[in-house]
Amino acid sequence: MLDDIEKVLYTKEEIDKKVGELASRITADYRGKDLCVVSILRGAAVFLADLTRKLTDINFTIDFLVLSRGKAGSSGEVKIIKDLDHPIFKKHLLVVEDMIDMGESLHYVVDVLKLREPASIRICTLFEKPYSRTLDIECDYTGFILPDKFVVGYGLDFHQKYRNLPFVGALKPKLSPY
């Protein structure tokens, strides 16, 4: 599996430091508020676990969404196949994503969540590819801006593999779907 990686872009230590920085900002912003952290599964699970373990000075609940969509880059319809388990009316939402590139799925999710009248919605992503954006999505908390390469590790996958790598690396071009 490690032979499939062209280059390590972010080490475990760099990721851990950045997650701590994001957690500090989130803690300051949500202290004393009724917060619900909403994670989009599967990729965000690794980031969510590390991030929430560092949110030690605030109270929050966690809920999950699972989406179904056509292939990346397609105009396939986004659907929620596993919805939130609890109401979010008048709660502050923090939507946690592993990576935002085109923004289509996240745009859909935010539109759906707004209809449920939360107090606020903010977005936290560890990795972002803003140059790939096809829809206007503003991230409130961003860890790293990724290069224009196909990346895996730390929850990011290729055909459901490589999520377990403790770092983020560029997949070798011969394996990349780009």
Between CA 13 and CA 90 the distance in angstroms is: 37
Buried b (16+ CB within 10 A) or exposed e, 17-44: ebbeebbeebeebbeeeebbbbbbeebb
In this prediction, residue 76 carries a pLDDT of 64
In this prediction, residue 132 carries a pLDDT of 76
Choosing from 63, 85, 101, 136, the catalytic residue is 101
In this prediction, residue 178 carries a pLDDT of 64
- Per residue in 100-136, pLDDT (tens digit) is 888 888 999 999 999 999 999 999 999 998 877 777 7
- All structural domains of the chain: 12-148 (3.40.50.2020)
10 Å CB burial of residue 161 (0-12, 13-18, 19+) is exposed
Buried b (16+ CB within 10 A) or exposed e, 75-97: eeebeeeeebeeebeebbbbbbb
Q: Between residues 176 and 88, which one has the greater pLDDT?
A: 88
Between CA 54 and CA 131 the distance in angstroms is: 30
Is 101 assigned a catalytic role?
yes
Instruction: Identify whether the C-beta of residue 107 lies closer than 8 Å to the C-beta of residue 123.
Output: no
